[in-house]
Amino acid sequence: MPIRQLSETMINQIAAGEVIERPASVVKELVENALDAGASKVEIVTAGGGLSLIRVTDDGSGIPERELALAIARHCTSKLSDDIHDIRSLGFRGEALPSIGSVARLSIRSRTASGDGAAEIGIEGGRVLPVKPAAANRGTTVEVRDLFFATPARLKFMKGERAESSATGDMVKRIAIAFPAVRFTLAGSDRSTLELPATGGTPEGRLARVAQVMGKDFPDNAIAIDAQRDGVHLAGHVSIPSYTRANALQQYAYVNGRPVRDKLIAGAIRGAFADVLPRDRHAVTVLFLSLDPATVDVNVHPAKADVRFRDPGLVRGLIVGAIREALAGAGIRAATSGAAGLMAAFRPGGAPFAHPGPASGHRSYEAAYRASGLSGFDRGSDLARSPQRPLDMGEARPARNGFAENEQAAFDTSPLASADARAGTAEPAEALLGTALGAARAQVHENYIVAQTRDSLVIVDQHAAHERLVYEALKNALHSRAVPSQMLLLPEIVDLPEEDAERLAMHSETLARFGLGLERFGPGAVAVRETPSMLGETNVQQLVRDLADEIADNDTVETLKERLDRIAATMACHGSVRSGRLLKAEEMNALLRQMEATPGSGTCNHGRPTYIELKLADIERLFGRR
């Protein structure tokens, strides 16, 4: 076949292959256009999951009649001046409308503020229909029918109606978070309607919009982030470590108001939370980055969800630093929100003390155990009063006034209860009462330190707390001086693409500080002579390749640092005071003082609180004294 120029429609269909993946991408493009036009209300209606109909109506600037034909022509945009490096709108490529028009039936009805009437234009599978007068309010209505009718192959890839609808819903929410001053409504044929009234552009308004999208409990479980470095500003909210998800879908990121899905940002969030979350849990985050448009490239992919930062290390460092700092300052909150739930569970006359989830499992376990006849578990047995009885015993009986009464009995009669109270009963020193975690008064159940401040009762999980302290100390040691390394008997040669080898060599000094000694070994290879002793026997090839990937992506060697941190965490877990060890009063107080002095000690390495604080006022309320 000779070379020939493709037809306009064919070119547009090829572009559509990248820009218009599914109904949600049409909605994204149309909503972005509405927002670029300064709309304060955006109304979206879909049918058949968006495949039979998508209609987006806005009250924005509108398109003059004489420009309608241009709006649907390729490479025509009102948003880009002469500088591709200065993009301040969501759109700039001038290809969404012609792409949609090449694979669907598209009509645009619009009216500007100038007083002329409204006009309409259509394009169906690339065939342009003439402009004609229409009736409409100020603003624009874009209607897309029969999506992909002109490209049946793509149609086959669509998931069910419900899946497409939900992808569209997610898309609208994602965009809406960045535009709290705009009212959004989304109605589909499945009667699920999303309504997001405008909340305003103030910080409170922004948070209110976030709550509309992510749920009312998010703000209560989130910490504000606000940080700045070298002209890059980061704002938003991240969840406290006890509020997590099983996947990272609830991590929203925006660069200059544009929703993005960015590996660097996701990696930075993971790194920031690595210390406080188990590996299979994910934080919930909403982060807004603002920076000079010239220092970020949004023209990476036609769908505009990818970005490239000119200084990825700066952006990553800012995100990790800001989140870690906020988490460190919020240790107390992480613990307190747990205490609030506890107080609710305790409320007299309320529901009997109920554990979520596993409690029923315990109960059936107990029932099975009793039925087996193995136990001294029968009612009336002394075991029921013994401190060794399973914790859930009290639940088998309806508890009166919300308290499990035999829980109390155990406190009175157990010989251990008094033996555990090692700190004695003398009034504690006034100075200790003024500290954040107070004066230790007793150790109970061989693991819980009960302390007293001027206005609260503090209960510390000694194992969790100590584990965290050991971990922080290890990490400090790790990052304050060079990490000890061990020589390999034979240097290990890792073959890599030449660029990767070059990149690793450029970072060799930093790597050496973390105990990884490597150097160039001819073209396309590095020789590893030393590895961090902490890693023990390690897969050097894999480690080096992972590092090369990361340097290529992010220009950092965080992978190695994170790996070492994880090992420090494991070591801490094994090296710390086990529950069950009896502590002297001085030891308990020393632990409390150390916790106060250590950032991040409010949560253990797995994100659970290391202590809870019950305010005296709340305790008095429980007893009806207030």
Provide the 8-state DSSP code for 338.
H
Q: How far apart are CA 57 and CA 44, in angstroms?
A: 7
Pick between residue 63 and residue 326 the one whose CB is nearest to ligand ADP: 63
Contact region with ligand ADP (CB under 6 A), list: 2-10, 71-79, 194-202, 373-381: 71-79
Contacting residue, 29, 420, 500, 613, with ligand ADP by CB under 6 A? 29
Q: Which two tokens stand for residue 464?
A: 């969790």
For residues 200-259, which are near ligand ADP according to CB under 6 A? none
Compute CA distances 293 → 89, 290, 300, 405, whole Å.
Answer: 10, 8, 14, 64
The full DSSP string for 226-270 is EEEETTEEEEEEEE-TTSEESSSTTEEEEETTEEE--HHHHHHHH
Q: Which of 15, 63, 214, 548 is close enough to bind ligand ADP by CB under 6 A?
A: 63
Least spacing, CB of residue 110 vs ligand ADP, in Å: 7
Q: Which residue is nearest to Mg ion (CB)?
A: 91
- The option from ligand ADP, Mg ion, none interacting with 541 (CB < 5 to 8 A, set by class) reads none
Q: Which of 176, 170, 182, 179 has its CA nearest to residue 50?
A: 170
Which letter does DSSP use for residue 199 in this model? -
Are 436 and 414 spatial neighbours (Cβ–Cβ below 8 Å)? no
Q: Give the nearest distance from C-beta 148 to ligand ADP in angstroms.
A: 18
Binding to ligand ADP in span 78-97, by CB under 6 A: 78-79, 91-97
From residue 118 to residue 157, what is the string marking binding to ligand ADP with x (rule CB under 6 A)? ----------------------x-----------------
| Stretch of 30-38, 234-242, 325-333, 468-476 contacting ligand ADP, by CB under 6 A | 30-38
Q: Which amino acid is at 448?
A: Y
Selection from Mg ion, ligand ADP, none that 63 binds (CB < 5 to 8 A by kind) is ligand ADP
Contacts of 272 (CB under 8 A, 6+ apart): 238, 319, 320, 323, 324, 327
DSSP-derived secondary structure letter, 598 = S
Tell me the C-alpha distance between 205 and 215, whole Å.
15
Query: How would you class 231 by CB atoms within 10 Å of its CB: exposed for 0-12, middle for 13-18, buried for 19 or more?
Result: exposed
Per-residue b/e over 264-283, b at no fewer than 16 CB within 10 Å? bbbbbbbbbbbbbbeeebbb
Residue 42, interface with ligand ADP (CB under 6 A)?
no
| Residue 96 or 210 with smaller CB distance to Mg ion | 96
13, 51, 58, 334: residue in contact with ligand ADP (rule CB under 6 A): 58
Segment contacting ligand ADP by CB under 6 A, of 53-61, 182-190, 379-387, 526-534: 53-61
Query: Where do contacts with Mg ion occur on this chain (CB under 5 A)?
Result: 33, 91, 96
Residue, CB closest to ligand ADP: 91
With CB under 6 A as the contact rule, the residue among 40, 52, 77, 189 that binds ligand ADP is 77
302 near ligand ADP (CB under 6 A) = no
Task: Give which of Mg ion, ligand ADP, none residue 296 binds (C-beta under 5 to 8 Å, depending on kind).
Answer: none
One-character DSSP codes across 441-471: EEEETTTEEEEE-SSEEEEEEHHHHHHHHHH
Q: How far is CA 129 from the centre of its chain?
A: 46
Choice between 25 and 244, CB closer to ligand ADP: 25
Name the binder of 243 from Mg ion, ligand ADP, none, CB < 5-8 A by kind: none
Please tell me the distance from the alpha carbon of residue 349 to that of residue 320, in angstroms, as a whole number.
45
- Closest distance of CB 29 from Mg ion, Å: 5
Which one, 303 or 527, has the nearer CB to ligand ADP? 303
Considering the rule CB under 6 A, would residue 321 count as an interface residue with ligand ADP? Answer: no
Residue 321 to residue 312: CA distance in whole angstroms: 14
- The residues in 332-361 that bind ligand ADP, with binding defined as CB under 6 A, are none
**What angle is formed at CA 295 by the lines to CA 292 and CA 177, rounded to 5 degrees?**
60
φ/ψ (deg, to 5) at 251: -115, 110
Near ligand ADP by CB under 6 A: residue from 11, 15, 19, 34: 34
User: Residue 273 binds which entry of ligand ADP, Mg ion, none, with Cβ cut-offs from 5 to 8 Å by kind?
Assistant: none
Could you list the residues that contact ligand ADP (CB under 6 A)?
A: 29, 33-34, 37, 58, 60-63, 71, 77-79, 91-97, 140
